[in-house]
Amino acid sequence: VTLASDPVVLALDIGGTKIAGALVTRTGRCTAMASVPTPARDGAGAILDAAAQLAGTLRASEEGNRVRGVGLAAAGVVDPTTGVVVSATDHLAGWAGTDLIEGIASRLESPGLPVRVQNDAQAHAAGEAWLGAAAGVSTALVVAVGTGIGGAVTVDGEVLTGRHGAAGHLGHLAVPAAAGLPCACGGTGHVEALASGVGLAQLHARLSGASGRSHNVAGPGVTPLDGRQVATLAATGDPVALEAVRMAGAALGVAVGGVSNVVAPDVVVIAGSLTGAGEPWWTALRSAVAGELIPALAGIDVVAAELGDRAALVGAARRVWQGLD
Ligand SMILES: [Zn+2]
């Protein structure tokens, strides 16, 4: 039970499709969670307006809670020191260059509150390392597989942010199976181009075309399946969908295994919508990881994340609490 007088941190998670928010206690309990669609095409000002409006709704819903600060997790490469979005993909129009600390602080009713910002994948990892699947371990590799592929390394619960906050971009590791495929970052051959939700959908479309099975081929009047639909089709035993799911899982495993050889994690935590892609995907992923690991690292656990959508909110709040304690 959260008492009305308990101090809380206001946490916001700005993603490509929705903005989630919650009030988070010092122990990491989320109260008053809510979300609104991201006005992704309307520019950074509109996105921050929507986030501030959600913040106001959350504060009003729990009158009496004392908000001690604001933690923001956001898509894009976010410099945690300056609060500026260093770069971003086209999912959020006009996002790159935005000063998130100033942008949020100036829109809040209490301008004196401390505001901390970080990349959403890093916030997600911080949350899992605090209260989820990576809690209590020394080193963890956390990988989020959804529309794109994000990642972060945590050491004793702290996220490695690196230069400009850009550490952890596991999705932009080259893997042989993705050779030649264009990636959302502008590069080619990166694992995201094959193993993300979008990559899986495109892979399935290519395999369907090659197999001559017309009912799944993208063409005039035919909508290609998205990643989730491919996974659902694979679960029915459809051989082409199954092949696509296995190839995507294996490609991700090659990247995860390679990075694991670099950071030697105690556990690998996999988050994001594709974790629901079923047993064939998990088996291909784990098998490929095992195939890449050096002998000293054999047997690293590859497990599903535990906090779901709460992870980034909890992780964003944690940074604020750390600054207050
Ligand atoms: Zn890339």
Q: Find the 168 Cα to ligand 1 centroid distance in Å.
A: 12
Q: How far away, in angstroms, is 189 Cα from ligand 1 center?
A: 7
205 alpha carbon to ligand 1 midpoint, in Å? 20
Task: Measure 187 CA to ligand 1 centroid, in angstroms.
Answer: 5
CA dist., res. 201 & res. 195, Å (int) = 9
pLDDT for the residue 217: 47
Using the mean position of ligand 1's atoms as its centre, give its distance from the Cα of residue 323 in Å: 33
Q: Residue 2 has what pLDDT?
A: 53
- 75 CA to middle of ligand 1, Å? 15
Report CA(195)–ligand 1 centroid distance (Å).
Answer: 11
Q: Rounded to the nearest whole angstrom, what is the distance from the C-alpha of residue 82 to the centroid of ligand 1?
A: 25
Dist. CA 188 → ligand 1 center (Å): 6
Closest CA relative to residue 49, chosen from 120, 98, 121, 122 = 98
User: What are residue 4's DSSP bridge partners?
Assistant: none
Measure 100 CA to ligand 1 centroid, in angstroms: 24
Is 289 in contact with 256 (CB distance < 8 Å)?
A: yes
| Ligand 1 centroid to residue 55 C-alpha, Å | 33
- Cα(186) to centroid of ligand 1, in Å? 6
Quick one: pLDDT at residue 32?
A: 87
CA of 63 to the centre of ligand 1 (A): 44
**How far is the centre of ligand 1, averaged over its atoms, from the C-alpha of 171 (Å)?**
6
If you measure from the C-alpha of residue 173 to the centroid of ligand 1, how many angstroms do you get, rounded to a whole number?
7
Averages of pLDDT over runs of 10 residues in the chain (325 residues) are 75 94 96 94 96 94 82 95 91 93 91 92 97 98 94 97 95 97 95 96 92 52 81 95 98 98 98 93 98 97 96 97 89
Buried b (16+ CB within 10 A) or exposed e, 37-69: ebbbeeebeebbebbbebbeebbeebeebebbb
Give the Å distance between the CA of 270 and the centre of ligand 1: 19
Residues lining ligand 1 (ion), CB within 5 A? 172, 183, 185, 187, 190
**Cα gap 41→26, rounded to integer Å:** 35
Question: What pLDDT score was predicted for residue 312?
Answer: 96
Sort residue 121 into left (φ over 0), alpha (ψ -120 to 50) or beta: alpha
Give the pLDDT score at 210: 73
Gap from CA of 209 to ligand 1 centroid (Å): 25
Closest listed residue to residue 12, CA positions, set 63, 43, 65, 48: 48
pLDDT at 91: 80
pLDDT of residue 143: 98
What does the buried/exposed string (b/e) look like for 272-296 if buried means 16 or more CB atoms within 10 Å of the residue's CB?
Answer: bebbebbebbbebbbebbeebbeee
